[in-house]
Each structure stands twice: as C-alpha cells, then as structure tokens.
Structure 1
Amino acid sequence: MRMYDVIVKKRDGGELSKEEIEFFVKGYTNGEIPDYQAAALTMAIYFKGMTQEETATLTQAMVDSGETIDLSAIKGHKVDKHSTGGVGDKVTFIVGPLVASVGVPVAKMSGRGLGHTGGTLDKLESVKGLQIEMSKEEFIHNVNEHKLSVAGQTGNLAPADKKLYALRDVTGTVDSLPLIAGSIMSKKLASGADSIVLDVKTGSGAFMKTLEDSEALAREMVNIGNNLGKNTVAVISDMNQPLGFEVGNANEIREAAEILQGKRVEDLRELSLEIASHMTVLAEVFSDYEEAYQALEKNLENGKAFASFRKLIEAQHGDTAMIDDLSLLPQASYDIEVAAEEDGFVSAIDAESIGVAAMYLGAGRATKDDEINHGVGITLQKKIGDEVKAGEALVILHSDEENAQASINKVKEAYNISKEKVESPTLIHKVIK
C-alpha cells in the first residue's frame, strides 16, 4: 500500500477502507509517513469529509495507537463527562460529586488549561496539598471507595491524535468536523469509561460559535461513540456568556462548593443537573431523566453531593479546612471594580474576552510553561439581561497588581450595553442521543 494512493483516493472523494486508515495512522505515528503526506491527506479530508464509518475507524485507529486505560477493576458502570471548553466552566466539580452521591463511579481523567483560564486540574490545585498525580492503584481504590476521583492523564493515550493535532494546527485543517470529533473522542475512548456524556458548547466563548456547527459536532461525536460501542449523549449548552459568576481557579472552586451547599446559581445548577441526570440514566441507576433529575436535585439540597466533594478533596490529600471554610482558599491582593459607562441593559458579553482578561491577570496560561496564579480571577456582577447604571460595577477583578489595565480594557471590550432590555440566552439548546 502506498500513501500516495490513499491521498489521491480521498482527494477525489473516495471512501477510505479500514486498512487504508489504519495504514495511515500507524505509519504516521511511527514516523514512516512524512508530515507533508499527512498534511496532504488532512487537507483532502478537510475538503471532502469522511463518512460516519470512516470517522469511527479513524478514531479507533487513534485509540489503538497508544495505551488504553483499563478500568475493569472499578465496580459498576463508569460514565465519563467531557466539555468542549468554556469560560467559567466548573461543571465537573458539581457533576462528579452529584453522580457519585447516587453510587455511580466517576473516574475522571482531566487536563491542564492553555489559554483563557486554568483547566480542571489547575482549579483543583487551588486546594492546598491536593494531589492529582497518583498511581493507577490509588486512582482505582479511590473510585471504588468513594465513587469519585479526578487525576491527571497518565500514560501514552492516543499519541496519533497528539501528533495529528500539532500538524493540523499549522496547516489550516483544525476546522474539519471528522478530525475534531475524532480527536476529542479518541482520548475519551482511551480513558476506559463505559458511557460518555458530552457537553458541547456553542457561542462567543466556545470553539464552535454557531448552533448549527455545534450540533454538527455533537452528532458526529455521538455517532462515533455509539459506532464504537459506547452509549453516548451530547448536551448542547450556551457559552455566549461565562457560566456562573466566577472565572479563575480558586474562585471557581468556591462557587462550585457553594452550589453543592445549596446556593442557587441558576445556569450552573441547571446545566450540572442536566448532565448528571443523563450520566446516571446511562449508568442505569434511574429509569428515566425526570426520576434522575429529582433524585439529584434532592442530593444538592440535603448535603450528600457536598459530602462527596469533600471526600474527593480528602482522599486526594487536599486540605479540607479550605472546603469547610471557603475563605481560606487563595485570594488576590486587590479587588478592582470595572464600572459601566452608561445606563442600560447588558445585551451581550463576549465570553472569550472575559477569559482572556482572566488570563492577563494570571488565571490562565499564554504558553504551556506559564505558572497559574490560583488566587486571581474575575467575579461578574452583571450578566445578559441585567439592568446597569453608569458607575455601577460590571465585574470585579481579583488581581495581584494594583493596576490591571490590560484586563480592564478587555472587560470593557467584552460588555455591550443597550437601551432596550434583552432576554438571557437559552442555556440548554438541544440533547442528542
């Protein structure tokens, strides 16, 4: 088999066979196929697309290119959750404890952040002493014992995806639906869960800016999961403004803990219950969504979900005093108000700009070597649909610099004030199974 023939076949709109796709993934991963030929194929895929069967085969080949995590020693039906990324997205810290509180094991492999704000692991490390690096044995023990553990990705998961993504990033082929979907799902499938719930974001702070594109990506990923034997559900949720009111690291942990203690932050609460309900139905703990939602809502109110969160912190050697007294979490030196310059109503918030403003403060990484500052961040005072008076705070910046002008400017860019009141955006657009 020649790579040249594979490229020409796809260039001309042909459907690649299982053998041809596996030949490409294996050859590119081990260095036998050069970058220029791989780039030619990804560009051909960009223009000609792939069938559902091709995309599933590509994803499985990327899974098979490295290690897979064997979670068979964990008792029960393991359900994973993945978000395509957003600003203020601390849903994992609410959903994990919620799902664990009804006995469903959550073995969560997460990553660090690059860009707007910190990743799941960065946020968790706001808690003093908390360890996200652990042996496989300790990880499995924690899930069996407490139904929940969150760890850094270990091993050589889907190396073909890592290599292909780096190539796509510099050859203009990132925005290819089958390649995006395959990239995300290869890592999820290698992580060993039995079922998967995807939180696919749409809007200004999301990778996919339009609902149409987000739905196409969601359907592609659900098809991959189901074709490869994993029951998969996608929830398309709004990211036209940050989730909740906190953006950063320690302040996002604080907000998640407060919700687990019964505080009503409506968008975060609703989305967390939505995702957790689908996860527990896939795990067959509840027969339908309504039954699951009611039971999980009860566990938010009776303290069981918060107890699961506290147990997660304790089992991973975090300082539980910081969870019992949230004021002990890291805090910045200065609180800086960014005020509205006119009366009106908040009509739009560019979520990505809010994330960039937080990154300027030190809450995220501009490069992978940057250090995260856990104490800095942003607290939104106004969201879409809220009335605001001139001089009233739109956000509060938590900064270790007395003058955070770059962040202030970015926040001002993010907010749009209109004379007419607008409705808050729909949070959950669609569920795809």
Structure 2
Amino acid sequence: MRMVDIIHKKRNGSELTKEEIYFFIDGYTKGDIPDYQASALMMAICFQGMVPRETALLTKAMVDSGETIDLSRIKGHKVDKHSTGGVGDKVTFIVGPLVASAGVPVAKMSGRGLGHTGGTIDKLESIEGFNIELTKEQFIDNVNKYKLSVAGQTGNLAPADKKLYALRDVTATVESIPLIAGSIMSKKLASGADSIVLDVKTGSGAFMKTLEDSESLAKEMVAIGNRLGKKTIAIISDMNQPLGFEVGNANEIKEAAAILQGAKIHDLRTLSLEIAAHMTVLAGAFSDYKKAYETLEQNLENGKAFESFRQFVIAQGGNIEVIDDVDKLPQAAYHIDVKAEMDGYVSEIDAESIGAAAMYLGAGRATKEDHINHAVGITLNKKIGDQVKKGDVLVTLHAARENSENSIQKVKEAYHFSRNQVKQPVLIHKVIKD
C-alpha cells in the first residue's frame, strides 16, 4: 500500500477503506509518513469530505493510535460531557455536581486551555490546594465514593490527533467537519465513558459561527459516537454573547458556586440543567427528560448539588473555605468600569472580543508557555436585550494593572446598541439524538 495512492483516491472523491485509513494513521503516528503527504490528504478531505463510515473509522484509528482509559472499576454507567468551547463557559463545574447528586458517576479528564481563559483544569486551580494530578487509583476511588472527579489528561491519549491537529493548524485544514469531529471524538472515546453529551456552541464566540455549520458538526459527532458503540447526543447552544456574567478563572468558579446554591442566572442555569438532565437519562437514572430536569432543579434548591461540589473539592485537596466564602478566591488588584456612551438597548455583544479582552488581562494563554492569572477577568453588567443609559456600567474589568487600555477597547468594540428594544437570543437551538 502506498500513501500516494490513498491521496489520489481521496482527491478524486472516492471512499477510503478501513485498511487505507489505518495505514495512514499508523504510519503518520510512527513518523513513517511525512508531513507533506499527510497535509495533502487533509486537504483532499477538506475538499471531498468523508461519508459517516469513513469519519467513524478515522476516529477509531486515532483512538487506537494510543492508550485508552479503562474505567471498568467504576460502578455504574459513566457519562461524560464535552463543550466545543465558548466565552464564560463554566458549565462543567455545575453539571458535574448536578449529575453526581443524582447518583450518576462522572469521571472527567480535562486539559489546560489556549485562548481567552484557562481550560477546566486551570479554572479549578483557582481553588487553593486543588489537586488535578491524581493517580488512576485516586481518580477511580473518588468517583466511586463521591460520583465525581476531574483530573488532568494523563497517558498517551489519541497521539495521532495531537500530531494531525498541529499540522492542520498550519495548513488551512482546521475547518473540515470530518476532521474536527474526529479530533474531538477521538479524545472523548479514549477517555472511557459509556455515554457522551456534547454541547456544540454556535455564534460569534464559538468555533462554528453559523447554526448550519454547528448542526453539521453536531450530527457528525453524534453519528461517530453511536456508530462506535457510545450513546451520544448533542445540544446546540448559543454563544452570541458570553454565558452567564463572569469571564475568567476564579470569577467563573464563583459564579458556578452561586448557581449550585440556587442563583437564578437564567442562561447558565438553564443550559446546565439541560445538559445534566440528558446525561442522567443516558445513564439510566431517569426514564424521561422531564423527570430528570425537575429532580435536578430540586437538587439546586435543596443543597444536594452544592454539597456534591463541596465533597468533590475536599476530595481533591481544595480549601473548602474559598467555596463556602467565595470572596476568599483570588482577587484582582484593580477593578475598572467600562461605561455606556449612549442610551439604548444592547443589541449585540461580540463574545470573541470579550474573550480577547479577558486574555489581554491575563486570564488566558496566547502560547502554551504563558502563565494564567487566576484573579483577573471580566464581569458583565449588561447583556443582550438590556436597556442602558449613558454612563451605566457595561462591564467591570478585574485587572492586575491600572492601565488596561487594550481590554477596555475590546469591550467597547464588543458592545452594539439599538434605539429599539431587542429580544434575547435563543439559548438552546436544537438537540441532536441521531
């Protein structure tokens, strides 16, 4: 078998066989196939696409290129969630305790983040003492005892994806739906969960800017999961403005804790309940979505979900005092108000610009070597549909230095106004089950 023949076949729009896909993934992972041939095949896939069977085979080949995590010692049906990313997306810190409060095990491997804020692991490290470097035994024991654990990704999960993603990033092949879907699902499938709920974002702060593209990606990933024996559904949720009111690291933990204690932050609360309800139904804890949603909503009100969060923090070495009193979380040195310069209604908030403002403050990383400042971030005071008067505070920047002009400018660019009242955007667009 020759790589040039595989490239030629896909360039002409033909379907690749299992043997051809595995030949490529195995050879490229080992270094036997050069970057220029891998790049050529990626570009051919970009132009010609892949049928669902091919995409599933590509994903499985990437899973098989490295280790997989064996969670068989965890009792019960393990369910995981994944978000395609967004601004202010602290849903994991709410959904995990919610699902655990219903007795469903959540064993989550997460990574650090590149971009506007840290990843799940970075945000958890805002909690003093929180340990993400658990042994496999500690990880499994915590899930069996407390139904929830989150640890840093360990081992050699889907190394083919790591190599291919780096190559796609410099060859203009990132946007291919089959390649995106395969990349995301290979890591999820290697992580050992029995079922998966995907939160696919759409809008200005999402990777997929249009609902059509988001739906295509969601359907592709659901098809992969189901074809490879993992019951998978996807929720398409809006990211045309940040989720909730906080963007950063410590301040996102603070907002998540507030939701778990019953705070009525509509978009964040609703999306968290939606995802958690579907997770518990997939796990078999409830027979229908409505009953799951109602029970989980009660667990926000009666304190069960917050107690699950507390147990989770304590089990991983976190200082529980900073959860019980969130004012003890890292605090920024300066708080800078950005005010409205006109009367009207907020008609648009470019979430990507808000994310950039947060990164300029130090909440995120431009490169892997950058250090996260857990204390800095952004609090939104006005969201789409809100009426504002000139001089009202739109956003408060929590900064490490007094001069934060780049972030101020980005916030001003993000906000747009209308003289007429504006409706709030739809939060949940679709649920894809097959």
TM (normalized to structure 1)? 1.00
Per-residue CA deviation, residues 254-303 of structure 1 (Å, 9 max, x unaligned), is 00001100111000000000000000000001001001001100000000
Deviation of 1:403 after TM superposition, in Å, equals 1.7
Q: Is 2:206 the partner of 1:181?
A: no
Q: Following superposition of structure 1 onto structure 2, how do residues 19-418 of structure 1 map, counting pairs within 5 Å?
A: 19-418=19-418
Deviation of 1:417 after TM superposition, in Å, equals 1.1
Which letter does structure 2 place at the counterpart of 1:77? H
Deviation of 1:110 after TM superposition, in Å, equals 0.6
Which letter does structure 1 place at the counterpart of 2:271? L
Which letter does structure 1 place at the counterpart of 2:266? E
Deviation of 1:145 after TM superposition, in Å, equals 0.4
Deviation of 1:214 after TM superposition, in Å, equals 0.1
Per-residue CA deviation, residues 68-98 of structure 1 (Å, 9 max, x unaligned), is 0000000000000000000000000000000
Per-residue CA deviation, residues 40-79 of structure 1 (Å, 9 max, x unaligned), is 1111000000010000000000000000000000000000
Per-residue CA deviation, residues 159-189 of structure 1 (Å, 9 max, x unaligned), is 0000001111111111101000000000000
Which letter does structure 2 place at the counterpart of 1:202? T
Q: Distance in 2 between matches of 1:250 and 1:5?
A: 52
Q: Distance in 1 between matches of 2:199 and 2:221?
A: 11
Per-residue CA deviation, residues 92-128 of structure 1 (Å, 9 max, x unaligned), is 0000000000100000111111011111111100000
Deviation of 1:415 after TM superposition, in Å, equals 0.3
Secondary structure of 1:247's counterpart equals: strand
Q: Distance in 2 between matches of 1:240 and 1:267?
A: 12
Per-residue CA deviation, residues 347-382 of structure 1 (Å, 9 max, x unaligned), is 000001101101111100111111111111000000
Secondary structure of 1:76's counterpart equals: coil
Q: Distance in 1 between matches of 2:175 and 2:144?
A: 39
Q: Distance in 2 between matches of 1:92 and 1:412?
A: 29
Q: Distance in 1 between matches of 2:234 and 2:127?
A: 31
Secondary structure of 1:128's counterpart equals: coil
Aligned length: 433
Which letter does structure 1 place at the counterpart of 2:158? A
Secondary structure of 1:171's counterpart equals: coil
4+ aligned runs moved over 2 Å, structure 1 = none
Secondary structure of 1:115's counterpart equals: coil
Q: Distance in 1 between matches of 2:421 and 2:183?
A: 41
Deviation of 1:429 after TM superposition, in Å, equals 0.2
Which letter does structure 1 place at the counterpart of 2:401? E
Secondary structure of 1:179's counterpart equals: helix
Which letter does structure 2 place at the counterpart of 1:309? F
Which letter does structure 1 place at the counterpart of 2:84? T
Which letter does structure 1 place at the counterpart of 2:121? L
Which letter does structure 1 place at the counterpart of 2:196? I
Deviation of 1:234 after TM superposition, in Å, equals 0.1
Secondary structure of 1:143's counterpart equals: helix
Which letter does structure 1 place at the counterpart of 2:73? A
The runs of 5 or more residues in structure 2 that have no matched partner are none
Q: Distance in 1 between matches of 2:364 and 2:170?
A: 23
Which letter does structure 1 place at the counterpart of 2:187? K
Which letter does structure 2 place at the counterpart of 1:381? N
Q: Distance in 1 between matches of 2:219 and 2:400?
A: 43
Q: Distance in 1 between matches of 2:107 and 2:99?
A: 11
Secondary structure of 2:82's counterpart equals: strand
Secondary structure of 2:80's counterpart equals: strand
Map of 1:425 onto structure 2:
425
Per-residue CA deviation, residues 190-233 of structure 1 (Å, 9 max, x unaligned), is 00000000000000000000000000000000000000000000
Percent sequence identity over aligned pairs: 76
Deviation of 1:418 after TM superposition, in Å, equals 1.2
Q: Distance in 1 between matches of 2:406 and 2:65?
A: 43
Which letter does structure 2 place at the counterpart of 1:78? K
Which letter does structure 2 place at the counterpart of 1:303? G
